[in-house]
Structure 1
Amino acid sequence: MSGSATVQGTGTTGPPSKAQTASTSSSSPSPSRPKQFGGLGGENAVIKKRVKNLLSKTSPSSRTEVLESLKGLAATSSTVIHPSRQVGKSFLKQQLARTPEVSILDSVLANSADLLSDLETLERDISAIYSLADELDAALLSARLSSKAMLADRSRLLENQRKAKDQAEVLESFNVLFNVSEEHLAALDRASSSPLQDVKSPLITVSFFEALERVQAVHANCRLLLRGNHRRAGLALMDRMSGLQEKAYESLCRWVQTGMSLNDGGEGEGEGDDSLLHRAIAALRTRPVLLKYCAEEVASARHNSFFRKFLDALTAPAMERERISRPSSYVSKVFDWISGNMDKERRLFHRLFSESGSSGNIASLLDRVFEGVCRPLSTRIEQVLQVNNATRQLDLFQICLTLSTYSGQLREALGEESALAKTTREYYGKAVEAFEVEMTQRQSKKLLASSEASFEQELKVLADLGSLSSKSLDSGKEGGDIGVLEAALSRCVGRLCDFCESMADHQARNQSKGEKGFSLGKISSSGGGAGSDSTILLINALFRVLGTLEKEEGGLLGGTGVRERVSGLLEGLVSSFQPTGLRERLERIGMYQGENGQFSAEISRDPDLSLDILRTQLDDIHNYLLELLRGEKDDKLKQLDLLAAPEARSMAQNKVLVSFSDAYACIYSSIAAQGKAGHIQHSPDYIKDLVKTLC
């Protein structure tokens, strides 16, 4: 456009001059101009590439403005350069053909000026676009920087949130493991700061035990802190929990002592206070030393309590009257009271302290509880043993039975060395001694009279004693130290048997003279002499004593010693019934018989033991047994009918027959040892069968 203005300003419309032609020719396009014009296609490609790059870096809000600018640029450029190269060439040729050269040049110049102006505008637009792209890059970079800071803040906040959550969980776990609530601390403080006067005090409640369990759990959890990096905190917390536990255990110990001291040990068990007492003992089991101290203090407190109770029971008016009138019943009631209360105490201590130790510990506690009753008990028993009444013998015997029974029971319940068991055993021995002294004095006074009435009276006393012992054992009161009493009774019965023996000898001598005396039984004048007569009288008397002793089955007055004495007397009586010659031959045969039962060869050279003599002796024994079988008795065997007791007669007759059978077997063995058994008609087995028939 500027080029055309310059040309028009010259004022020439004709043909140009040479200079103008030269300048025009120099400024006109060269033959290669169409090629240069056609080279705009490369610049368009570059422009397109840059525009595309620009659009890719442009935000959507600025992209519309850029597109409108590019559209205006495309409209301007379309008037200069046709999109198609071939169409442009035809258009230029036609224009060149129609238009003079000058106008063509002017038009070209004008178009070139417009093109340059458009290119400058395009360049400015492109520069603006680049500036806008740079701004967009800067904005994008700033946005990236700001978003990076925001992301960093977000990550930091998330990390802080995570840390806060972890800390909250740690704090919650710490509270679960190591925190003691204010309610629990208040429950512990109430119990430790206030005096405990009653087992039903509200200071020891379920909350107290829950607080103690919580403190114990926290104390155990402190080991977790000691294993990590919090040893100082763990030690401090353990020290705090240990202090709380010590105060709590001291409160429990005092409370248990007070409660056990006031508890009557009865059968009734409440679900409330008794449950708390059990729970307190269970808590104290974790402290064995403190529990042992608590148990000992409880035993001491109950020791004083039972001392007062025992004195009240002993000094009751009814008990005092019974001590004087019925000593045996008084002693029995005293020990029944002790036994009943001991059962209650054993159940109480076993219920509370059984899991904390063995039964020996409970026995020692019971020994401590009842140790206080030993002194008043011994005083009362001393007084009872000195009571002198008409039934002193029976009372002393009944007291001996009572003390024997409870001596054994107390030994099993409290132990051999317990104070109450030793006291009972000591006075049991004194009671037996007093009983034996009383029996000895009575027998000395009564039996010296040598009368039938005194003998019968002594038998009646033995019967009463047997009845008492039988009733005592039937009531289940056995298992004591009964051997001491049995020994004393055996000595008393032995003195009575000795009296019977002296009186039997005396009566045998009197009857042989025709005098009357102490009647132990009547014998025939055709007896076998004073010796056998006194033996039969003594056997009759002893069987009367034996019948009295064995009247009550299962009693203490067993007749074992008397029966052995009677058996020995029967053996002597039977040996006196054998013919003198038979006894001598049996003694002579025994001289040749060794310890193993074998006979020496010298027996065959003894003239008193010849085959004819021994065979004659065997025939005499056989004939004697046959006579007995036919019912014919000699005078000696008839003398056994003087035995008053049927059992004594039967035993004596059997022993006589067995003695003849044994004598036959001994003589037969001596003959067989000489090898001459074939000369004997009847074997020992035949004689034994014959004796069995007679028995």
Structure 2
Amino acid sequence: MAAPTAQPALAPGLARKVKKIMETRTEAPEVVGSLATLSGFYTDNSPAARRRLRSTIENQGVAVNREFLAVAQSVLQALDCVQSDLDALSSCCEAMGGALAGSRAAAADLLHDTARLTRALQTSETRSQLVGRFLEQYQLTPAEATALQGEEVGPAFFAALAHVRQIHANCKALLRTHHQRAGLELMDTMGSLQEAAYERLCRWVQAECRGLSEADAPEVNPLLQQAAAALRERPVLFRYCAEEVAQARHTALFQRFIKALTRGPRPIEMHAHDPRRYISDMLAWLHASLASEQEFLVSLFGDDSQQEALERQGSAAGPAGPAAAAAAAQQAAEGSSAAGAAGAASDGAPTIPQLLDSVFESICRPLRVRIEQVLMSSPPPLLCFRLAQLLAFYLGTVEGLLGAGSQLAEALRASRAMAMRTFQETLRQRGDKLLRYPPPPPRDLAPPPQLVEGAQLLADLIASYEQSLDQQAASQQGRGGGAADADFSAVLSAVVDPLAEMCSRSSEALNPAAASRVDEGSHLDPTDQRVFMVNCLFTLAAPLAGHECALAQAQRLHDTLESHVAAVVGAEVSRTLAKCGLAEVVARLQELQEQGAPSDQPLAADPALELGRVAAAMRTFFARLSDPAMLPELPKLQVPRLKAEAIQRVLQALADAYATVHTALNNPASGYPAAQVAEAVRHTPAQVRTLLGVV
């Protein structure tokens, strides 16, 4: 194989240049930019041009520098012009500074005088403002003085009066400074104006209030309301005006009451024949008038609690500032309800309840006289009780508005007391009459008509008590009726006790052994007295059942009734056992069981318990019970439920008596021969119970 042809070697310098050219990055930004600039003036790419490339680039640089020098020459010329202008301006400023310095030196005295006069003007303006504020706080304007001393009372008068009060209060603060003499003089002047204004205002209010007696429901004049609020600053004058208003309404209310009684399309006295409606209409009119008069007085004089809160707020705002005033106002709002219901206010001014009491004093006597006339006409006891309940309800309402010591409350309280006295006296007279002349028992032992009437009275009294407005209000408010129930329990006792005693005395006519009998009484049934008492007591207890207000009387009657029913059952059992001959046998067995029979002497050895005698009695007993006509029926018991219970108890007792005898006969310790007992007694206690229908 032939050897490769050898390449000629490059000179070291040329090799470095070639290597440098080969390593040059033609895509570099500076290379690309240089080539782009070169393309702008290098247009001929010939060998000669490439040889002159260096000189071409240098010539291009020289041309650029010459162009720059040409442009910079014009800039230098402009800067020279600016410098010359600045030199001229500096010369002018120096000239002006010199002129100003000369002028300042010449006007120094004038500027000093101007500053002094400016300070004097500011001082005068400040003094003028202080004088204006002083006059505003301590002097009245001519318009306010004219309004305060004029005869007309209007918004301008009240504004001037408020300003006078403010000036008077400001004078108190002035006395705490070194201007005490001025404060005393101003306070004396304002005090005189204030007192004269209050007296003029009081006379105006009294004149306005005299016209309130002519209207049934007068509208409150806003000026009159504002005047009343202003007069609260003078309690004595306010009392005079309040009493004038109360006197005017006192007369108007009396006239309205008489008119409501006797005039109009439906006068109240038109129903005088119906006492309950008559008194109800009068009390309803009274309640409506009380509400309207209270609304009128509150709108005129304001609520007592609100006025007291304002007074507390005003007193707290004086020395302690707004924070104390706010605290006092909050405290007054929390205690407003208690303060409003109190008697007289702390400053002696009359309260709304006192004014209402004075207004309604006019109708206390005519109202009480008419109620007493109704009660003196001997009304039935039920009507008296209903009137007492009605008066109690309205008494509670009036006491809540006017207080317990008001004259109207006293009149209603006295009327209610008279109604209760009349009611109790009527009950006492009825009870005495029933006890003095007790009715004779009817032939069928039914309750007498007097007892039925008394039971109906009890039912009506309980219904009236439970439906009364006062009792309903107590239940709705959760107050219960403890005291009211106790009073009503006494009322029920006053009705129940005489009726129960009347029944007891009437039943003595059915007692064969009564000491008051003139005959032997052998024709009487011994149980008739008990049956009559059962019928009467059940009739008397029926209206009391299921009523919480009559629990004591109902329980007492139930106990007495149960004792009489037990006596009737016992007598009927004894009678039935005696008819069949078992009474002595059962009595002897019970006696031996109680005493304890000796072990050496069996029952068969007792003559009263001979087997033949006992067997004959048991056969007779069974024979009588087998006949339905011979069973006890208790026909004179008027109450079906009690009759059924009594008959069931009689049958139960008869079955128990038969079982007692049967057990004694079949007991080996009794000494009876078993064969003879089985022959003589063929019916078991279970068969007897089935026959009697006893479970």
Q: TM-score by structure 2 length? A: 0.52
For residues 658 and 264 of structure 1, what CA distance do their matches in structure 2 show? 83
- Given that residues 363 and 413 in structure 1 are in contact (C-alpha distance below 8 angstroms), is that contact kept between their aligned partners in structure 2? yes
Task: State how far apart, in whole Å, the 2-side matches of 1:550 and 1:266 are.
Answer: 54
State the structure with more CA Rg.
Answer: 1
Cα 1:236–1:657, aligned 2, differ >3 Å: closer, same or farther? farther
Residue in structure 1 matched with residue 553 of structure 2 by the alignment = 561
Equivalent position amino acid for 1:425 in 2: R
1:491, CA displacement in angstroms?
1.1
For 2:133, the equivalent position in structure 1 comes to 173
Checking the alignment, whether the CA contact within 8 Å between 1:216 and 1:245 is kept in structure 2 is yes
The answer to whether structure 1 residue 337 and structure 2 residue 285 are counterparts is yes
Inter-partner Cα distance in structure 1 for 2:447 and 2:650: 34
Q: What SS is found at the alignment partner of 1:450?
A: coil
Distance 1:265 1:217, change over 3 A: farther
SS in structure 1 of the partner of residue 140 of structure 2: coil
* CA distance, structure 1, for counterparts of residue 172 and residue 268 of structure 2: 66
Cα shift at 1:343: 1.9
2:195 matched residue in structure 1: 246
Q: Could you say which residue in structure 2 is the equivalent of 1:226?
A: 175
How many residue pairs align between the two structures? 451
Letter in structure 2 aligned against 1:366: L
Q: Report the alpha carbon displacement of residue 339 of structure 1 after superposing the two structures with TM.
A: 1.7
* Amino acid in the other structure paired with 1:502: R
Partner of 1:366: 356
1:425 aligns with 2:413: yes
Q: How far 1:541 moved relative to its partner?
A: 0.8
Whole-angstrom CA distance in 1 between matches of 2:424 and 2:271: 21
The equivalences for 1:493-572 within 5 A come to 493-509=496-512, 529-530=526-527, 533-549=528-544, 558=550, 560-571=552-563
1: distance between equivalents of 2:495 and 2:120? 105
Task: State how far apart, in whole Å, the 2-side matches of 1:377 and 1:639 are.
Answer: 61
Alignment correspondent of 1:593: none
2:90 is matched with none
| Identity across the alignment (%) | 29
Could you tell me which amino acid in structure 2 is paired with residue 534 of structure 1? Q
> AA paired with 2:402?
L
Instruction: Confirm whether residue 377 of structure 1 aligns to residue 367 of structure 2.
Output: yes
Distance 1:653 1:430 in 2: 50
Helix, strand or coil at the partner of 1:546:
helix
- Of the three residues 365, 384, 387, the one matched with 1:399 is 387
2:452 maps to what in 1? 459
The letter for the 1-side match of 2:147 is A
Opposite residue 237 of structure 1, the aligned amino acid is L
Change in CA separation of 1:214 and 1:609 when aligned onto 2, cut-off 3 Å: farther
**Does the 8 Å CA contact 1:281/1:353 hold for their aligned counterparts?**
no
After superposition, the Cα gap between the structure-2 partners of 1:184 and 1:546, relative to the gap in structure 1 and judged at 3 Å, is farther
How far apart in 2 are the matches of 1:461 and 1:326? 23
Secondary structure at the counterpart of residue 207 of structure 1: helix
Which digits, 9 at most, give the CA deviation of each residue in 1:201-244, with x for residues without a partner? xx443333322222222223334433433222222222222333
Question: Do structure 1's residue 353 and structure 2's residue 303 form an aligned pair?
Answer: yes
Shift in CA distance, 574/644, structure 1 to aligned 2, threshold 3 Å: same
The code of the aligned residue for 1:306 comes to L
Kept after mapping to 2: 8 A contact 1:432/1:485: no
- The within-5 A match list for 1:151-190 is 153-190=113-150
Per the alignment, in what secondary structure is the counterpart of residue 360 of structure 1?
coil
Is the counterpart of residue 437 in structure 1 residue 385 in structure 2? no
Residues 487 and 348 from structure 1, CA distance in 2 versus in 1: closer, same or farther, beyond 3 angstroms? farther
1:279 and 2:226 matched: yes
In structure 2, how many angstroms separate the alpha carbons of the residues matched to 1:275 and 1:610?
105
The 10-residue stretch of structure 1 (353-362 or 441-450) with the greater mean CA deviation from structure 2? 441-450
Preserved contact between residue 171 and residue 183 of structure 2 (Cα < 8 Å): yes
CA contact (8 A) 1:363 1:414 kept: yes
Query: 1:303 maps to what in 2?
Result: 250
The amino acid across from 2:188 in the alignment is D
Which residue type is aligned with residue 556 of structure 2? E
Does the 8 Å CA contact 1:432/1:488 hold for their aligned counterparts?
A: no
CA distance in 2, matches of 1:353, 1:611: 94
Bigger mean CA offset, 314-323 vs 417-426? 314-323
Instruction: Give the Å deviation of 1:577.
Output: 6.5
More moved, 341-350 vs 295-304? 295-304
How much is the aligned-residue C-alpha RMSD, in angstroms?
5.3
Amino acid at match of 1:160: A
Offset of residue 320 of structure 1:
7.8
Q: Distance in 1 between matches of 2:541 and 2:257?
A: 44
Q: Deviations over 1:504-557 (max 9, x none)?
A: 23235499xx999xxxxxxx99x8x44xx4334213212212224559x68x8x
Amino acid in structure 2 at the alignment position of 1:474? Q
Question: What is the rounded CA distance, in whole Å, between the counterparts of 2:652 and 2:535 in structure 1?
Answer: 22
| Alpha-carbon distance change, 258 to 186 in structure 1, aligned in 2, over 3 angstroms | same
CA distance in 1, matches of 2:364, 2:202: 29
Would you say 1:450 and 2:471 are equivalent positions? no
Aligned counterparts of 1:496 and 1:341: Cα–Cα separation in 2:
44
Q: Distance in 1 between matches of 2:531 and 2:287?
A: 51
Cα 1:288–1:650 change in 2 (3 A) is farther
Structure 2 CA distance for aligned equivalents of residues 244 and 466 of structure 1: 73
Residue 167 of structure 1 and its aligned partner are, at CA, apart by 1.8
Distance 1:564 1:461, change over 3 A: closer
Show structure 2 runs of 5+ residues with no match. Answer: 1-94, 96-101, 308-338, 344-351, 475-482, 572-593, 604-624, 654-693
Residue 155 of structure 2 corresponds to 206
Report the alpha carbon displacement of residue 368 of structure 1 after superposing the two structures with TM: 2.2
CA distance in 1, matches of 2:559, 2:381: 30
Counterparts of 1:626-641 in structure 2, within 5 Å, are: none
Partners of 2:271 and 2:278 within 8 A in 1: yes
| 1:621-656 alpha-carbon deviations (Å, 9 max, x no partner) | xxxxxxxxxx99xx9x96889654466569889999
The 1:265/1:454 distance shift into structure 2, 3 A limit, reads farther
Q: Which amino acid aligns with 2:279?
A: V
Write the distance in 2 (CA, Å) between the matches of 1:266 and 1:462: 52
CA spacing shift, 1:320–1:396, aligned 2, 3 Å? same
Partner of 2:398, secondary structure, is: helix
Q: Is the 8 A contact 2:504 2:533 kept in 1?
A: yes
CA contact (8 A) 2:148 2:157 kept: yes
Three-state SS of the structure 1 residue aligned to 2:439 is coil
Aligned-partner residue type, residue 255 of structure 2:
R
For structure 1, which runs of at least 5 residues remain unmatched after alignment?
A: 1-59, 61-139, 195-202, 517-523, 580-606, 617-630, 660-693
Q: 1:212 to 1:434 in 2, by over 3 A?
A: same
The aligned runs of 1:586-665 (5 Å cut-off) are 643-645=637-639, 648=642
Q: Deviations over 1:383-440 (max 9, x none)?
A: 222335xx64454344333333323333333333222222222222222222333344
Deviation digits for residues 140-176 of structure 1 (CA, Å, limit 9, x no counterpart): 9xx99x9776566445533432232122211232233
Aligned to 2:404: 416
2: distance between equivalents of 1:653 and 1:264?
77
- Matched residue type, 1:450: P
Q: Are the structure 2 counterparts of residues 229 and 399 from structure 1 closer, same or farther at C-alpha, using a change threshold of 3 Å? A: same
Mapping of 1:670-689 within 5 angstroms? none
Asked if the contact 1:396–1:431 (Cα under 8 Å) also holds between the matched residues in 2, the reply is: yes
